[in-house]
Structure 1
Amino acid sequence: MTDIEMMAWLGAGYGVLLLLVAYGIDQLAKRAQTRIEEDRAGGFVYHENHDAWLCPEDQWLYPKSFDPDNRVMRYRGLPLVCNSCPVKDTCTASDDGREMKRHVDPWPASESARFHRGIACSVTVLAVLWPALTALMVTSWTSQVLALATAFLIALGALPLWAHLRRTPADPLGAVVRTLDQTMEDRQAAAAAITRARTSYASDRRIDHAN
Structure 2
Amino acid sequence: MTGFSASAVGVEVWMAAGYCLTLVGLAYMIDTLARRAAAVSEGGLSGGFTYHSDHDAWKCPQEQWLWPQSFDAHNRVMRYRGTPSVCNACPVKDTCTTSPSGREVQRVVDSWPASEAARFHRGIACVVVVLGLVWPVGTALAGPGGDSLLVLAAAVAAALLLSVPLWSHLLRTTVVIPEGMLHRSLDDAVAEREAATAALIRRRSSYGSDRRESGPEARR
Quick check: TM above 0.5?
Answer: yes
The residue aligned with 2:117 is 112
Measured at CA, do residues 90 and 58 of structure 1 come closer, stay the same or move farther in structure 2, by a change above 3 Å? same
Partners in 2 of 1:68 and 1:103 — Cα distance? Answer: 11
Cα drift, residue 8 of structure 1: 2.0
- The number of aligned residues is 176
The residue aligned with 1:206 is none
SS in 1 for 2:54: coil
1:98-137 aligned within 5 A: 98-137=103-142
Measured at CA, do residues 179 and 98 of structure 1 come closer, stay the same or move farther in structure 2, by a change above 3 Å? farther
Q: Aligned AA for 2:18?
A: G
2:39 is aligned, of 23, 34, 38, to 34
Q: CA RMSD in A?
A: 2.2
1:39-118 aligned within 5 A: 39-118=44-123
CA contact (8 A) 1:66 1:177 kept: no
SS in 2 for 1:74: strand
1:172-191 aligned within 5 A: 174-177=175-178
Partners in 2 of 1:48 and 1:66 — Cα distance? Answer: 16
| TM-score, with length taken from structure 1 | 0.74
Measured at CA, do residues 125 and 132 of structure 1 come closer, stay the same or move farther in structure 2, by a change above 3 Å? same
| TM-score, with length taken from structure 2 | 0.71
The residue aligned with 1:183 is none
Partners in 2 of 1:132 and 1:155 — Cα distance? Answer: 12
Greater CA drift, 117-126 or 19-28: 117-126
The superposition leaves residues 11-44 of structure 1 with CA deviations (integer Å, 9 ceiling, x where unpaired) of 1111111001001101101101110111111111
The superposition leaves residues 149-171 of structure 1 with CA deviations (integer Å, 9 ceiling, x where unpaired) of 321331232232233446x39x7
Partners in 2 of 1:48 and 1:20 — Cα distance? Answer: 34
Q: Aligned AA for 2:167?
A: W
Q: Aligned AA for 1:27?
A: T
Cα drift, residue 69 of structure 1: 1.8
Cα drift, residue 76 of structure 1: 1.0
SS in 2 for 1:175: coil
The residue aligned with 1:155 is 160
CA contact (8 A) 1:65 1:177 kept: no
